[in-house]
Amino acid sequence: MAISGVMRPGHCQLRVLNLDESVKFYTEVMGLKHMGFDAQGRAYFKCLDELDHHSLILRQADKAGMDFYAFKVRDKATLEQLDADLRAYGVATERIPAGEMLETGERVRFTSPTGHVFELYAEKTMVGNGLGFEAPEAIIDGRRGISPIRLDHWQIHGPDLDGSRDLFVKVLGFSLVERIKAEDGVTDVAVWLSCSTKAHDIAFVRDERANTLHHASYLLGTWEQVLKAADIITIHRVSMDIGPLRHGITRGTTIYAFDPSGNRFETFCGGYDFYPDMPVITWPFEEMGRAVFYHTRQLNERFLTVVT
């Protein structure tokens, strides 16, 4: 499938309680590259292998959580079309001018039925990964910390899951890849959606707490790197949620832990390739444990209850 329209998760703005401590954490433990601060004092980061200027922005605040989630779209014509499509669907949109965020073009902002603020944008300065585009080396030398490949996806919670699922599928062109059903066998309690050939680019979970973040996920290359991430998490005494483990959903391997502000992050590896002719995978309510934690087949209380 040629990827058109919405291409991938592009950036997100995370609220942190202590900016200095968080800059140190995301640089030294997560192993992201600090790209500098803007005039508002926000800190910008990219994963080493990402090409665009940044994928994470940290903003100091009194409360943890995510300000907004952004997807990069194919080009400016696509941005205009999706803005028109959102408004035609009844979603109010707002334009954030180019330059409000470092090295980033105009953004189209809207709020989803689950209460989350999303952005679409087409332009961000490509700074590259340092390897160049002519006969590049195959690895980036000098990595430190967990050092993920890229920002991969988000899992976010809110009451109107149906509304956000339909908006993403009908207007933004996402595919429904997997779902967990409620005990009634009809209602979706969680959905995994893809705008690419990844098993998911975003997941929505039905939860009475609107506009909440369950986790931001970062991609690793191998299961061994997930295990190494677990070692780094312990060396730095990072607050752990659960892992290393495998998901039934997506088949990915993973660890969940918390940044210094209590925002959960995931270091994720694997997952199958999705193509749009694949039937939707459905998990009945009684298989939820195996769907989420494939080996223990049981959910833990903290994983179910803690969001920011």
Would you call 300 helix, strand, or coil by DSSP?
coil
Say which residues have a Cβ less than 8 Å from residue 141's Cβ, sequence separation at least 6: none
* 19-27, 61-69, 211-219, 228-236 -> range binding Fe ion (CB under 5 A): 211-219
Residue closest to Fe ion when measured from CB atoms: 217
Distance between CA 110 and CA 116 in Å, rounded? 8
Distance between CA 300 and CA 292 in Å, rounded? 10
Which C-beta is closer to Fe ion: that of 110 or that of 265?
A: 265
Respond yes or no: is residue 11 known to be catalytic: no
Minimum CB separation of residue 192 from Fe ion in Å reads 9
Respond yes or no: is residue 200 known to be catalytic: yes
Catalytic residue among 11, 200, 214, 218: 200
**Alpha-carbon 26 to chain mean position:** 15
Respond yes or no: is residue 53 known to be catalytic: no
Respond yes or no: is residue 214 known to be catalytic: no
Minimum CB separation of residue 247 from Fe ion in Å reads 8
Minimum CB separation of residue 95 from Fe ion in Å reads 30
Identify whether the C-beta of residue 182 lies closer than 8 Å to the C-beta of residue 189: yes
**Cα separations in angstroms, 267 against 36, 114, 186, 192, 219:** 24, 25, 31, 17, 6
Which C-beta is closer to Fe ion: that of 100 or that of 273?
A: 273
For Fe ion, the binding residues in 120-159 under the rule CB under 5 A are 155
Beta 175-181 vs 281-283: how paired, if at all? Answer: parallel
Respond yes or no: is residue 295 known to be catalytic: no
Q: Select the residue interacting with Fe ion from 164, 217, 225, 253 (CB under 5 A).
A: 217
Catalytic residue among 11, 157, 214, 215: 215
Beta 94-96 vs 43-46: how paired, if at all? Answer: unpaired
Which C-beta is closer to Fe ion: that of 131 or that of 281?
A: 281
Which C-beta is closer to Fe ion: that of 70 or that of 101?
A: 70
Direct distance between the N- and C-terminal alpha carbons of the chain, in angstroms, rounded to an integer = 35
Look-up: residue for tokens 């409360």?
A: 63
Q: Select the residue interacting with Fe ion from 32, 249, 266, 274 (CB under 5 A).
A: 266
Minimum CB separation of residue 255 from Fe ion in Å reads 11
Q: Which residue type does 248 have? A: G
Minimum CB separation of residue 217 from Fe ion in Å reads 4
Residues recognised as catalytic: 153, 200, 215, 247, 256, 266
